[in-house]
Amino acid sequence: MASKHQNESHSSVRAINDHPEDAPLRPSQGYSLWIFPSPGDLAATRQLVSVFGPTMITFNSESTWVTMDDAKASFNLFCCVCGIGSLAMPSNYARAGPIYATIALGFMIFANTYAAMKLSKAMLAAPSSVKTYGDLGEWSLGKWGRFFTVISQMGVCVLVPIAFLILGSTLLDVLFPDCFSQTFWIIFMALMVVPICLIPTLKESASMAFAGCMGTIIADIIAVSLLQYNLRGHPSIPKPDVSLHQVLTCFGNLALAYGASIVIPDLQREHSQPQRMPRVVMVTMLIISAFFFAVAIAGYTAGGCQLSGNILYSIVDTSNPLGLAPLGFSANRGAVVMAYLFMQMHITMAFSTLMMPPFYMAERLILGMHKNTPIIRFDPDADLPHIDEDLELQEKMSYAKVSTPLEMENRQVSASSLLDKSEGRMSHLRVALEFNEEITEDQLRAPYQGAKTKLRYITLRIAILLILVIIAVAAQDKFLDLEDFTGSTAHTVNCMIMPLLIYLRIFWRKMSVLDKGVSMVVMVVCGCAGFYVMIHAAKELFSPSDDDIPFPYCEAEFQETPYYVRNNTN
């Protein structure tokens, strides 16, 4: 049976079984619907039929390299990852020097990209009943897996927004000096993010995530440009007094900078073609890493070891915004305002992105929304054959350069496939390959319809924000230490250790010895470094020292005064 062409550019649609190439074709059992560009592809098609049996593949002459869902996921991922972590990139070089800092940055680029891709692939293999990071932890590792994934994810999604509130209040205080206290600005900052936090889903907020991406890029560019301009003509930059402690303390900020895994399950759940997510994750992470490296080098080559833990704090004195900057220059006030405004815009957008996972989880636990079928724990003997089939199907479809998204009317699917999908037994990958249904914003918004439901979820989200405000007010003087503590604890567990543990559990029998070894090395190194930084950051957070040295990363000669002041020397 062949479909009628609307025009010559349309693909032929035929049902394939064991008939000769020129014979009329009819569907076999279940369905075997194939779309291919020309009759000459029948031989290759038959080979795929012999492998997959009654299934459905789409062949067209072109494949879409980037879809709108890819762009939306990338914007949200970029907005989540590339933010306050980028502000401290130059300080990592100021602490550890260019050699050790580059090694540390390179390792973290690899470790985080590797872990994020493994998490995305594990989510693809999971049954469609797995909706959240916690569900994935329970499916692969049991109840303890859910416990550690949820605790670490909530640690990230609570501590980082608290850091956002504190940083945002500091930015507002610099923008409007001597107006209000920092406590007032924290409350005001929280009020600013309320409307964005009430948007139900990540997919709907993708355009704002794009604005957040641009905000952090522009803010960082302005900040490093101010450093380079106001320190132009400087002599050799002062080198840091490198110690093992300073090298290891880079880890906390680097871990914080790469908090991708916290939102990957949620982004993948809302993606119409989740099989594309590993590539989206890899490309986005590499672009972010290149930006991190550029900001780090541009800042370090101007200020050396005298840079503060936040590059925005190096271009203006936050305690005296109209006075000299810590490095001894007076930056253009308009440029400072622009840098702080763009970073404020980024914080506002990124805040809502990071809060989506805890909002979803709280709505499920407290309000009974997003109900799900029970999670049946992963059984290697029973589940691996199905995972292998799904991966083989994906490989064959990729080899055939399948166009995406699949557009076809009146297609037939087997009753067993529909049942498996409705009961959540079919993997996310198989659902995407067989059904390839577009997940629209209206579908994602459906659980939030109705006046009563809206009132309940809005009240719950505002209550969560109120709790964050209370904690932020209590910790308002500890932003940099809170950064390191968050990165070394919650980020390390949630974004590097748990993704690899989950992947090892699912794919242990399929992984090469090298892949297993790399995963274990990443987990051990990150775990040890994270534990060390956690102890140090906790001491500074709860028992701070009275050491107020302006430039603590430098040798004694450069710890008290700026190494170069252009107005005095020129």
Tokens of 467: 């709790």
- Nearest CA-CA partner of 476 in 181, 87, 157, 88: 181
Q: Which helix (H) or strand (E) holds 15?
A: strand 12-15
pTM given for the model: 0.78
pLDDT of 456: 92
List Cα–Cα distances, 103 to 31, 37, 94, 100, 259, in angstroms.
53, 49, 14, 5, 19
- Nearest CA-CA partner of 400 in 167, 83, 58, 103: 58
pLDDT of 292: 92
Scan for tokens 């035929």, then name that residue: 14
Domain of residue 343, CATH code: 1.20.1740.10
Asked whether residue 435 is domain-assigned, the answer is no
Sheet of strand 12-15, all strands in order from the earlier edge strand to the far edge: 12-15, 33-36, 56-58
Q: Are 282 and 117 in contact (CB under 8 A)?
A: yes
Tell how strand 33-36 and strand 56-58 pair up: parallel
pLDDT of 114: 93
d(CA 74, CA 77): 5
d(CA 565, CA 570): 8
pLDDT of 27: 38
Burial of 27 (0-12, 13-18, 19+ CB in 10 A): middle
pLDDT of 546: 64
The sign of the torsion formed by the CA atoms of 409, 410, 416, 419 equals positive
CA dihedral 113, 134, 445, 466 (to 10 degrees): -100
pLDDT of 13: 34
pLDDT of 407: 44
d(CA 261, CA 394): 23
CB atoms within 10 A of CB 357: 23
Asked whether residue 557 is domain-assigned, the answer is no
Asked whether residue 500 is domain-assigned, the answer is yes
Q: Which residues of 309-341 are buried (b: 16+ CB within 10 A; e: fewer)?
A: bbbbbbbbbbeebeeebbbbbebeeebbbbbbb
Burial of 474 (0-12, 13-18, 19+ CB in 10 A): exposed
CA dihedral 150, 155, 156, 160 (to 10 degrees): 150
d(CA 356, CA 161): 11
Asked whether residue 411 is domain-assigned, the answer is no
Q: Which helix (H) or strand (E) holds 355?
A: helix 333-366
Burial of 376 (0-12, 13-18, 19+ CB in 10 A): middle
Asked whether residue 234 is domain-assigned, the answer is yes
CA dihedral 124, 130, 135, 139 (to 10 degrees): -70
Whole-angstrom Cα Rg for the chain: 26
pLDDT of 397: 63
Q: Which residues of 260-283 are buried (b: 16+ CB within 10 A; e: fewer)?
A: bbbbbbbbbbbbbbbbbbbebbee
d(CA 276, CA 351): 26
Q: What is the pLDDT along the chain (570 residues), one digit of tens a residue?
A: 333 333 333 333 333 334 444 443 333 333 333 333 333 343 443 444 444 444 443 333 335 678 888 888 888 888 878 877 788 889 889 998 899 999 999 998 999 999 999 999 999 888 888 888 889 999 999 999 899 998 888 888 788 888 888 888 889 999 998 889 889 999 999 998 999 888 887 777 777 888 888 888 999 999 999 999 999 888 889 999 888 888 888 887 787 777 778 888 888 888 888 888 889 999 999 999 999 999 999 999 998 888 877 888 889 988 888 888 888 888 899 999 999 999 999 888 888 888 888 888 888 888 888 777 788 888 888 888 888 787 777 666 655 544 444 443 444 444 455 545 554 556 667 777 666 667 777 777 888 888 898 999 999 999 999 999 998 888 777 766 666 777 677 788 888 899 999 999 999 988 999 999 999 999 999 888 888 888 887 777 777 666 678 888 888 888 888 888 876 544
Question: How many structural domains are present in the chain?
Answer: 1
* Residues whose CB is less than 8 angstroms from the CB of residue 177 and which lie 6 or more positions away in sequence, other chains included: 321, 322
Domain that holds residue 508: 68-371+446-545
Asked whether residue 432 is domain-assigned, the answer is no
